[in-house]
C-alpha cells in the first residue's frame, strides 16, 4: 500500500478581500477528505487560516515578479509547505483572483498495482491542470448573467458574498475528488 498526493482543499479568493492578512470572506472553499468516509485532515477554520496565510506570499511574489518582469503566466507554483503532509500551491489570474490548492502529500491510499503506474511526489507544473480547470469553472461562473461579480468582490472590499452557484460547487467537488498526480485531463 502506498499513498499518493490528493487535494485536501480548494480555495478561490477574490481581489479586494485582503485586509490585514486575514480573509474576511474567500469566495469559495471546498474541503476534501482523503478517502470517502474519512475526516478531512484539518478543520474548516484551519483551512481558512492556511488560505489566509498564502495571501502574503502571493503579495510578496507578485512584487518580485513585477521587478523581474517575469511570471505573467499566473502560476505561482508552491507557495509554502505547511508541514510534512500539506503543501499550498497558488495561481493568480490577471484580474487578481487567486486560486489556492492545498495538497495532501500522503492523501490517497492506493494499492501497489496502481502505485507502480504513478509517480510518487509531485512534479513541477503538475498543478497547472488543476488551476486550468479551476479557471475554466470560474470563467463559466462569470458567464452566468445572474452572477454579479461586484456583489462578490465589492470595490470597497467589504461584505462580499460567497459563491453560491451549484454548478461551480459541483465542478470544484469533482475536481478535488478526481484529481491525482500524473493525470493528463480532468
Task: For another protein, give the closer residue by CB, 106 or 140.
Answer: 140
28 or 42, CB closer to another protein? 28
C-alpha–C-alpha distance, residues 97 and 89, integer Å: 14
Q: Measured from the CB atom, is 38 or 144 closer to another protein? A: 144
Report how far residue 38's alpha carbon sits from residue 3's, in angstroms, rounded to the nearest whole number.
15
CB of 165 to another protein, least distance (A): 6
Distance (Å, whole) CA 75 – CA 69: 14
In the complex with another protein, the residue whose CB is nearer, 38 or 136, is: 136
The three cell numbers of residue 99 are 486560486
CA-CA distance, 131 to 28, in Å (whole number)?
Answer: 14
Strand order of the β-sheet with 86-92 is 28-31, 2-13, 98-110, 86-92, 75-81
For residue 163, the minimal CB distance to another protein (Å) is 11
Orientation of helix 128-143 relative to helix 166-178, angle to 10°: 170
CB of 143 to another protein, least distance (A): 4
Minimal distance, residue 47 CB to another protein, in Å: 25
Interface ranges with another protein (CB under 8 A): 140, 143-147, 164-167
CA dist 113 and 148 (Å) reads: 47
Using the minimum distance from each CB to another protein, give the nearer residue, 54 or 153: 153
For the bound state, the minimum distance from the C-beta of residue 138 to another protein, rounded and expressed in Å, comes to 12
Amino acid at each position: 500500500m502506498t499513498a499518493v498526493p490528493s487535494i485536501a482543499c480548494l480555495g478561490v479568493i477574490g481581489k479586494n478581500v485582503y485586509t490585514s492578512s486575514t480573509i474576511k470572506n474567500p469566495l469559495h472553499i471546498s474541503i476534501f477528505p482523503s478517502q470517502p468516509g474519512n475526516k478531512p485532515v484539518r478543520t474548516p477554520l484551519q483551512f481558512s487560516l492556511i488560505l489566509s496565510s498564502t495571501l502574503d506570499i502571493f503579495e510578496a511574489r507578485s512584487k518580485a515578479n513585477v521587478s523581474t518582469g517575469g511570471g505573467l503566466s499566473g502560476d505561482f507554483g508552491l507557495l509554502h509547505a505547511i508541514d510534512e503532509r500539506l503543501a499550498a500551491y497558488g495561481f493568480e489570474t490577471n484580474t487578481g483572483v487567486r486560486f489556492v490548492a492545498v495538497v495532501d502529500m500522503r492523501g490517497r491510499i492506493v494499492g501497489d498495482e496502481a502505485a507502480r503506474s504513478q509517480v510518487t511526489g509531485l512534479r513541477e507544473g503538475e498543478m497547472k491542470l488543476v488551476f486550468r480547470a479551476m479557471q475554466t469553472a470560474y470563467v463559466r461562473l462569470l458567464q452566468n448573467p445572474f452572477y454579479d461579480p461586484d456583489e462578490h468582490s465589492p470595490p470597497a472590499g467589504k461584505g462580499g458574498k460567497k459563491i453560491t452557484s451549484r454548478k461551480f460547487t459541483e465542478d470544484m467537488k469533482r475536481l478535488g475528488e478526481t484529481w491525482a498526480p500524473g493525470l493528463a485531463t480532468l
